[in-house]
Structure 1
Amino acid sequence: MRQVSFLVAGAIDQPTGGYFYDRAIVGGLRSDGIDVDVIELDGVFPVPDSAAISALDRALAACAPNTSIVIDGLAAGGLPEVVERHAANRSLVVLVHHPLCDETGLAADTRQRLLEAERRTLACAARVVVTSQFTARRLVALNLAEESRITVVEPGVRPAIQARTASQGPCRLLCVASLTPRKGHRLLVEALAQVADLDWRCDFVGDDQRDANEARAVREAIEHHGLAERIRVHGPQDSESIDAHYAAADVFVLASYYEGYGMVIDEAVAHGLPIVTTTGGALADTFPTGAGMSVAPGDANALAQALRTLIDDAEQRGCAAAAARSARARQRDWPAVARRFAAVLAS
């Protein structure tokens, strides 16, 4: 297996965890001498427009029969009719970060339509790769794929600089996540408003262009609660800048309603940061015991209490940071993850 076509929805350099996973796999495969052709599909996904339908159809038709084909589930899941047309003479691997129907804020009819479409798409796959044990269980529970056709390839982490500890001045909070409804930024703002009596500053780092309405709502919530001087929205950052934010932070916080894995939690652990997060989706599995505090998704009061505890109690914050540093030893690096992905393709 020396040739791989890797199909993604839009540009692969988009600043989200799913695209970061895709880029890391592509880079790891190439480092191991595998020829990877990244095909960036035009159009709107996962509820496709005509450009998306045409782009996926042309891309699959152009792939040589002996090429290993990987399609990110965001690109494939909503287009079963195209995938079915090419599956008879192509061996397809579909990479699922989380079921499309689990996205926060979908209308009931859209959710049902995506569920049915993704079920048809995954039925065509020779193999389904998922990024967490949670997502594997979720696919089986939704009758989207049989357990025997699913392989879990969990994310890796990059080498990380140890975050500062016992810093002077306000407690520095960091949230790295795109400003979309699922990530819970407005809930986090509400929780932070409840601990406004404490000395803290918070940085929101992540794509603020993906959902313009949500980004505007987050900024309005910050203004409404009078927190504009304490919460900074930075937008997307390059890897070097994100690393600098991690290194300067005291506590990492993610208020997500649902994650298919939650790679930023691994990144925070790699930097030795104490964490406040939720149990949404795979986070209940991937959050290391003792590395901070986790609460039910959607509960602003519980989130505020967890934040109060770690902001106000330096000793507990230190214990959580120590647990995070201990968990670093169990993390995978990206080259090892890419080799596992390659083994799936080779089989």
Structure 2
Amino acid sequence: MSLPHAAFAIPGDINTLTGGYIYERRLLEGLRTLGHNVKHIELAASFPDPSPEHMADAMKQLQALPEDCPLILDGLVYGSIETQGLAQMRAPIVAMIHHPLALESGLSDERRSHLYQTERDNLTFARHVLVPSPHTATILAKDYGVDPKSISIARPGTDKPTGVSTPIDPPLILSVGIQHPRKGHDILLKALASITDQNWQAVIVGSPYDAEHAEDLVGLQEQLGLMERVQLAGRVSAEELGDFYQRASIFALATRYEGYGIVFDEALAHGLPIVSCHTGAVPDTVPEEVGLLVPPEEPEPFANALRQLLEDKAKRNTMAAASQHAGKTLPSWLDTARVASDVLTALSAHSSVASANREVSSSP
């Protein structure tokens, strides 16, 4: 049986190294591997703050899709595109919501309110919604009025490590996340500054997504006297990142919020104990026996959790073993694609039935 064709609209460069882009690129590839003919529509990278020209171009491309071509629409676009234009689309829409845009860090009250109302209104036009976590599904059902029956959880897949874990000494604390305020690298730096009496080294991997924040991180690193012990590695190759994971003893991310957090699964796949924050989807993603989760925005509890693992090697090893066990149960990217494939197939079947009924009703 041939699988239905579809379209997937994503803003900007699909090869951008953030969790959301990695997720959508692998989902697109997985759908094609399963046999779907999926058209990739590249919209302007300016979403969720498009210029009038970029908004008009997006609406032109999306409204041109035929009614028998289901469209997966990225959340950066879905939560900010014009509601009136969305209502005029013929193609059945699948919203891909990593986390609601109104939950992003650093928004003004006015901006947060606008994004909330726009996304809530736009979600009424989604035939189905794909989310990466139960946490996001709960938020959409509770706060955005989405019918739980129209939500499917497509948990991110994970690639199995090819190398062998070889922790180095002094223990390497690894953090992975773009240099954006939401990732909490400033909190991590402050936490590290309070445990300089311990023996450790640290690397923070992630592109400078927010240039001003990236500069602030360098300034904070200098101010805290961490230039010799913490490496702000920026963007690295997949091979370099794999090497960091293999040499690390602890994974640490002081995130302010996560709709999922692919990097936690990467840490599990590499058998690393995790120190992070009790926020968003993190408690659902990080098994209790693997992670020490503390309140967000608080460097001292984060530092204390790191200190526990540095001082208690037996505890660290026990958590590492639990992490390795959990990592073996993680889904593959093809598993992720199968969830979306089932959604597209169901929508296509529904559209075919509706079309046949219209033909019958219009016959003389």
**TM-score, shorter chain, exceeding 0.5:** yes
1:335 aligns with 2:334: yes
For 1:269-304, what per-residue CA distance to the aligned partner results, in whole angstroms no more than 9, with x for missing partners? 001111111111000111112113111111211000
Q: CA offset at residue 83 of structure 1?
A: 4.4
Q: CA offset at residue 153 of structure 1?
A: 1.1
**In percent, how many aligned pairs have the same letter?**
35
Matching residue of 1:128: 129
For 1:321-347, what per-residue CA distance to the aligned partner results, in whole angstroms no more than 9, with x for missing partners? 011011123211111111111001111
- Which has the higher mean CA deviation after the structures are superposed, 180-189 or 305-314? 305-314
Aligned residues: 344
List alignment gaps of at least 5 residues for structure 2. Answer: 347-364
Q: CA offset at residue 241 of structure 1?
A: 2.0
**Runs of 4+ displaced beyond 3 Å:** none
1:326 aligns with 2:325: yes
> 2-side partners of 1:163 and 1:198: how far apart?
26
Matches within 5 A, 1:172-183: 172-183=172-183
Matching residue of 1:44: 46
Question: Aligned to 2:66, which of 64, 67, 89?
Answer: 64
> 2-side partners of 1:178 and 1:125: how far apart?
30
Q: Contact 1:80–1:118 at 8 Å: present in 2 too?
A: no
Q: CA offset at residue 183 of structure 1?
A: 0.4
> 2-side partners of 1:287 and 1:162: how far apart?
22
Matching residue of 2:98: 97
Q: CA offset at residue 82 of structure 1?
A: 5.2
For 1:3-45, what per-residue CA distance to the aligned partner results, in whole angstroms no more than 9, with x for missing partners? 2211011111111001111011111111112112111111522
What amino acid is the match of 1:117?
Answer: T
Q: Contact 2:256–2:297 at 8 Å: present in 1 too?
A: yes
What amino acid is the match of 2:277?
Answer: T
Matching residue of 1:184: 184
* Structure number, greater radius of gyration: 2
For 1:50-69, what per-residue CA distance to the aligned partner results, in whole angstroms no more than 9, with x for missing partners? 13312311221332321121
> 1-side partners of 2:168 and 2:125: how far apart?
56
- Which has the higher mean CA deviation after the structures are superposed, 41-50 or 110-119? 41-50
For 1:126-149, what per-residue CA distance to the aligned partner results, in whole angstroms no more than 9, with x for missing partners? 001111000011112222422222
Q: Contact 1:24–1:334 at 8 Å: present in 2 too?
A: yes
Q: Contact 1:5–1:36 at 8 Å: present in 2 too?
A: yes
What amino acid is the match of 1:65?
Answer: E
What amino acid is the match of 1:54?
Answer: A
Q: CA offset at residue 48 of structure 1?
A: 2.6
Local SS of the residue matching 2:255: coil
- Distance 1:212-1:164 versus aligned 2 partners, 3 A rule: same
For 1:103-138, what per-residue CA distance to the aligned partner results, in whole angstroms no more than 9, with x for missing partners? 011000000000000011111110011110000111
RMSD: 1.5
Local SS of the residue matching 1:311: helix
For 1:233-260, what per-residue CA distance to the aligned partner results, in whole angstroms no more than 9, with x for missing partners? 1112232221111111111111101100
> 2-side partners of 1:168 and 1:236: how far apart?
22
> 2-side partners of 1:161 and 1:203: how far apart?
21
1:287 aligns with 2:289: no
Local SS of the residue matching 1:2: coil
Matching residue of 1:266: 265
- TM-score, normalization: structure 1? 0.95
Question: Aligned to 2:79, which of 60, 73, 77?
Answer: 77
Matching residue of 2:20: 18
List alignment gaps of at least 5 residues for structure 1. Answer: none
Local SS of the residue matching 2:88: helix
- Distance 1:127-1:234 versus aligned 2 partners, 3 A rule: same
- Distance 1:83-1:93 versus aligned 2 partners, 3 A rule: farther
> 2-side partners of 1:255 and 1:30: how far apart?
35
> 2-side partners of 1:291 and 1:335: how far apart?
25
Q: CA offset at residue 161 of structure 1?
A: 3.9
Q: Contact 2:80–2:118 at 8 Å: present in 1 too?
A: yes
1:220 aligns with 2:222: no
> 1-side partners of 2:183 and 2:11: how far apart?
20
Local SS of the residue matching 1:105: coil
- Distance 1:204-1:149 versus aligned 2 partners, 3 A rule: same
Local SS of the residue matching 1:232: strand
- Which has the higher mean CA deviation after the structures are superposed, 109-118 or 152-161? 152-161
